[in-house]
Amino acid sequence: MSLRESAKDTGQKADLKLVTGSISDRAGVPNAGLLVELAEAVAGWRWKEVAALRERGGQDLGPQATSDAILVASGFNGITRVADAIGIRLDPHTADASVALRANLGFNSFAPPEKWESSTA
């Protein structure tokens, strides 16, 4: 599994089905189950669960990789929440271009409808 830009460098095809739960083998990502649990706990502000997963991650992934995973999950969550809170919406081009993609991948259910409105709406 890789995202669009990293896929270009490795010659892999980008596949977002992993993040939507559409596939079951976790795309061969080592410790994918733990990483998903950790990201969901961070996004859900379930700090006791994060602490337990951090301990497990320290054993399975190593302390540095676990800290990095928490940092990425926290940072992404924080940036998105800041944008939502101050009213930043999608630009008109992105809003229009992503309608089908968001519907197909189920992204529309991740947030209230106003998140997906264009900044000119």
Over residues 62-106, the pLDDT tens digits come to 999 999 999 998 888 788 778 877 888 888 888 888 888 888 888
Q: How big, in percent rounded to 5, are the helix, strand and coil portions of the chain?
A: 70, 0, 30
Give whole-number Cα distances, 18 to 41, 46, 55, in Å.
Answer: 17, 22, 25
- Give the CA radius of gyration of the chain: 16
The domain spans of the chain are 4-86, 89-121
Q: Identify the residue with better confidence: 111 or 9.
A: 111
- The per-residue b/e assignment along 84-100, b for 16 or more CB within 10 angstroms, e otherwise, is eeeeebbeeeebeeeee
How far is the C-alpha of 65 from the C-alpha of 77, rounded, in Å?
Answer: 18
Write down the pTM of the prediction.
0.54
- Each residue of 19-68: pLDDT tens digit? 566 555 556 778 888 998 998 898 888 999 999 999 999 999 999 999 99
pLDDT number for residue 2: 44
pLDDT range class, residue 13, cuts 50, 70, 90: low
